[in-house]
């Protein structure tokens, strides 16, 4: 087929602009439609200009149904409610969708998995190749270290991020918990304040930093009585997420319906 056509809801957001630029710079894909909410100041702006490039005579629209028109795949980094809506209309039109939105609750994730029975959905809280590798390192480390080591996760993001802990922090927390045969919701500790007593040996602690324009930093730390191990990932530019999402979008077009992860893309690419 010709270069896959990609549509982007939320094209005026941080990741939306990054995705537009990545697609315009790529050789193997083309940009179709990009949407925003009615009344937003960027409505009607040329998409090339929006991404800091030359005009391309395609414009940001508030027609939310346009993301399935003349489109082979959708990439969505918006908010949970919007992503669910986009996934539903994608399913109605048999268009695959890649979702990098964070902050889904369990019910919303269950809905997405049901939609994945109709179309291919690639969902990840982080589309960095480095984070995918980090998951493997964490799983291997936890299994070898056992239950005697304390686990703490530290994440840092820009001051405009609305959810906490980050989706990526929860992702790597889940990897650690599952490697211990635990459920993260039963062992995670996010808020420590006041006289809380000694640390529970089985808990996985989370610490959160918000400030400035930090793209994303994640660290998992393992503590024994006399030594410490750290696995760190630092994102210096959002284009690493865009590259992973575009790679996933191309992959999804030729695959059967299912609820996939970035690791599925990398393992079967």
List the 188-189 sheet strands across, edge first.
188-189, 204-210, 150-157, 216-223, 228-235
Axis-axis angle for helices 14-25, 239-253 (nearest 10): 60
What would the two tokens of residue 147 be? 């239950």
Q: Which of 17, 21, 86, 157 is catalytic?
A: 157
CB 262 within 8 Å of CB 130:
no
Q: Which of 53, 58, 88, 161 is catalytic?
A: 161
Q: Would you call 44 helix, strand, or coil by DSSP?
A: coil
How far is it, in rounded angstroms, from Cα 139 to Cα 108?
26
161 part of the active site = yes
**What residues contact residue 222 under an 8 Å CB cut-off, 6+ apart?**
141, 142, 145, 149, 150, 151, 228, 229, 230
DSSP bridge partners of 196? none
Residue showing tokens 């992702």:
171
Instruction: Provide long-range contacts, Cβ within 8 A and 24+ apart, for 110-116.
Output: 111/84, 111/87, 112/83, 112/84, 112/87, 112/259, 113/259, 115/87, 115/88, 115/90, 115/91, 116/257, 116/258, 116/259, 116/260
From the centroid of its chain, how far is CA 161?
Answer: 13
The answer to whether 21 is a known catalytic residue is no
Active site residues: 157, 161
């Amino acid at each position: 087929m010709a270069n896959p056509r990609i549509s982007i809801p939320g094209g005026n957001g941080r990741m939306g602009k990054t995705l537009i630029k990545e697609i315009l710079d790529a050789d193997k894909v083309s940009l179709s439609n990009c949407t925003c909410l009615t009344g937003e100041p960027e409505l009607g702006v040329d998409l090339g200009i929006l991404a800091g490039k030359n005009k391309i005579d395609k414009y940001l629209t508030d027609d939310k149904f346009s993301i399935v028109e003349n489109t082979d795949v959708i990439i969505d980094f918006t908010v949970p409610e919007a992503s669910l809506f986009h996934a539903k209309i994608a399913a109605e039109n048999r268009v695959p969708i890649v979702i990098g939105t964070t902050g889904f609750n369990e019910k919303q994730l269950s809905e997405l998995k049901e939609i994945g029975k109709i179309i291919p959905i690639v969902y990840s809280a982080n589309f960095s190749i480095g984070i995918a590798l980090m998951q493997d390192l964490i799983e291997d480390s936890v299994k070898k270290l056992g239950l005697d080591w304390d686990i703490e996760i530290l994440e840092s993001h820009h001051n405009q991020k609305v959810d906490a802990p980050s989706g990526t922090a929860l992702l790597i927390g889940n990897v650690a918990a599952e490697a211990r045969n635990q459920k993260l919701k039963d062992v995670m500790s996010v808020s420590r304040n006041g006289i809380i007593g000694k640390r529970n040996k089985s808990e996985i602690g989370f610490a959160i930093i918000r400030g400035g324009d930090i793209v994303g930093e994640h660290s998992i730390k393992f503590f024994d009585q006399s030594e410490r191990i750290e696995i760190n990932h630092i994102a210096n530019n959002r284009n690493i997420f865009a590259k992973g999402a575009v790679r996933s979008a191309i992959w999804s077009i030729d695959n059967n319906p299912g609820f996939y992860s970035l690791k599925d893309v990398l393992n079967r690419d």
